[in-house]
Amino acid sequence: MSIENPETTVRPAPATSAGAPVAVAVAGALFAVGGLLHPKGDPVAQLADPVWTPAHLVLLAGLVVLAPALYAVVRGRGAAWPPAVRVAALAVCGAAALGVVEMVPHLLAGGEAHAAAHGGPTPLLELHQRMSLFSNLLLGLSLAALAVLAAGTRALGGGRAVAGLAVVGGLAFGLAAPLLVATGIEAFAVLFSGSVLIGLWLAVSGVLLARRG
């Protein structure tokens, strides 16, 4: 009779909960809906749009869910991922956390609509604009990088075709604020709609991860 050595016996990996991947999918859906709701057109006029507050509440909710949900996915499943994918996923978690901080003055800037239209003080709007130069860039680029690195594996996402959504959306969303501030060309504001593509990729990725178990 052979006796198994508990130190050398290989045990199957424990089953992982689908809760965190589902939360990633929910975060993606919220981010996509928030992007669709976001007012379009003149940036100053957007502040007075009645949809400003609900759109940014939805976007804020998406970021609040994304940061811990994706971190939980990395903790639960990341050991089997290539190191570069783990690093990129953790970078997204950090960028999402920074995005939560930026989204607070972003949301509240809607209350400065009258001041912005009449040349008054707009400290929240200015704070949001400055912070978004970094937070949007980090979130967009880190998501695009994660999609590229994970596209050829079963670690995250639905392959190269779906990863294209995150790459296009991430680059558009990340570069929108820097281009708008650097050039003053209001047409660049349309690039913020890249959040819709980012959200779709996250939603698909979360659903596929949950199905894989």
pLDDT given at position 177: 87
pLDDT given at position 123: 95
Name the H helices within 12-51.
19-37, 43-46
pLDDT given at position 10: 33
Domain boundaries, the chain: 19-212
pLDDT given at position 158: 67
Q: Which of 104, 168, 101, 110 is nearest to 135 (CA)?
A: 101
**In this structure, what DSSP letter does residue 188 have?**
G
Instruction: Tell me which residues of the chain have a pLDDT lower than 50.
Output: 1-15
Q: Let me know: does 213 contact 19? Beta carbons within 8 Å.
A: no
In whole angstroms, give the CA distance from residue 1 to residue 81. 38
Q: Let me know: does 147 contact 163? Beta carbons within 8 Å.
A: yes
Q: Which of 198, 154, 147, 177 is nearest to 34 (CA)?
A: 198
